[in-house]
């Protein structure tokens, strides 16, 4: 029998188990059934296994499709409920966003996942519009539990959404596309691989052949997975392909190609700024230091002009 791993904590979203749940006995490579399909899931059950440091349980591989549909349905209900509220802070619903990001990383790009992704993005967009205290939101992203990939993706979404609105060429479709691209640009990369930002990082990091190919081609690979998918913003694939400054979507570059769009540069710099924030203590964050870092790593006149707009729209709000 083949198995598919899921997070133990994902079961807290269900009142009853959507499929049979198993625990792996690593000492003899066997699996024991913890829950039958439709069995009640209690807080006591989850607590019991959390206290044993169990983070992962398993389902039968043949149940994967059904489980994913059930999880998507549950998460969509959370977003629908939140949209009906006049206001609720991002922090109060962050657990749902974290689970959504984990779920999308698990199932990959598919038409079935598009509605869930867009619901998360719509909720994030509402949060940005409602919550003027961006400094508090950024501090939260910096300190919250969760993967670095999750924190970087969602902080980048906030920065990119604010940045592109400073330009006259921004449209609602562009705004939606950059939010989507920010969340999916590094999908599938482990936290260790997300830390690789430049050609220098890549050449100095010891990686397996598989990880080398994964990180070097991730922009192109993720962009290709979006082509012809229904419901996805029209410009998202191009932005993901170019988010490291290469038109080909392969590798990293210091010299941003002429054909790379200004929107893609906005995404690149939003991600770099978010990366800078997440990797510095609050007292050490200085925008001028980031500008020096960015202009050193990316030599293009357009970088300087976009950094100027980034400073105007964010620095005062983060003070």
Averaged pLDDT in 10-residue chunks for the chain of 319 residues: 88 93 89 95 94 93 90 84 62 74 72 75 72 70 84 91 92 92 91 92 93 95 83 89 93 88 95 90 80 85 89 71
Global pTM value? 0.83
Displacement of CA 248 from its chain's centroid (Å):
22
Instruction: Provide the pLDDT for residue 269.
Output: 95
Let me know the angle formed at the C-alpha of 158 by 90 and 249, rounded to the nearest 5 degrees. 130
Predicted pLDDT of residue 91? 60
pLDDT, position 196: 94
Residues of the chain with CATH 1.10.3210.10: 85-318
What pLDDT digit, counting tens, does each position of 253-278 carry?
Answer: 888 888 899 999 999 999 999 999 89
CATH 3.30.1370.100 is the classification of domain 85-318 = no
pLDDT the model gives residue 274:
92
What pLDDT score does 85 carry? 63
Nearest CA to 244 among 212, 220, 208?
220
Distance of alpha carbon 150 from alpha carbon 11, whole angstroms: 20
pLDDT for 265:
95
What pLDDT shows up at residue 146?
Answer: 80
d(CA 223, CA 142): 27
In order of 62, 76, 115, 270, the CA distances from 80 in angstroms are 29, 6, 12, 28
CA 49 remoteness from chain centre = 28
pLDDT at residue 110 in the model: 63
């Amino acid at each position: 029998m083949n198995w598919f791993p899921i997070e133990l904590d994902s079961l807290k979203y269900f009142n009853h188990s959507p499929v049979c749940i198993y625990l792996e006995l690593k000492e003899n490579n066997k699996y024991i059934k913890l829950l039958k399909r439709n069995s009640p899931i209690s807080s006591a059950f989850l607590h019991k296994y959390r206290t044993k440091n169990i983070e992962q349980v398993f389902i039968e591989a043949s149940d994967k499709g059904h489980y994913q549909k059930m999880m998507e349905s549950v998460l969509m209900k959370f977003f629908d409920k939140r949209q009906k509220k006049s206001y609720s802070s991002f922090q109060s619903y962050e657990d749902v966003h974290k689970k959504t990001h984990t779920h999308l990383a698990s199932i990959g790009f598919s038409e079935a996942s598009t509605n869930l992704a867009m619901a998360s993005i719509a909720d994030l967009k509402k949060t940005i519009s409602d919550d003027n205290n961006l400094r508090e939101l950024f501090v939260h992203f910096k300190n919250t539990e969760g993967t670095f990939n999750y924190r970087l993706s969602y902080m980048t979404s906030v920065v990119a959404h604010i940045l592109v609105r400073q330009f006259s060429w921004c449209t609602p479709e562009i705004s939606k596309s950059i939010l989507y691209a920010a969340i999916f640009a590094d999908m599938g990369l482990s936290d260790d691989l997300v830390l690789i930002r430049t050609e220098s990082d890549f050449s100095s990091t010891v990686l397996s052949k598989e990880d080398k190919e994964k990180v070097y081609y991730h922009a192109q690979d993720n962009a290709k997975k979006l082509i012809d998918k229904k419901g996805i913003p029209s410009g998202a694939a191009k932005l993901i392909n170019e988010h490291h400054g290469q038109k080909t979507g392969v590798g990293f570059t210091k010299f941003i190609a002429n054909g790379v769009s200004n929107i893609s540069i906005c995404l690149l710099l939003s991600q770099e700024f978010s990366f800078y924030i997440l990797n510095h203590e609050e007292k050490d964050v200085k925008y001028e230091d980031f500008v020096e870092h960015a202009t050193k790593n990316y030599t293009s006149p357009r970088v300087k002009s976009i950094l100027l707009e980034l400073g105007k729209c964010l620095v005062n709000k983060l003070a």
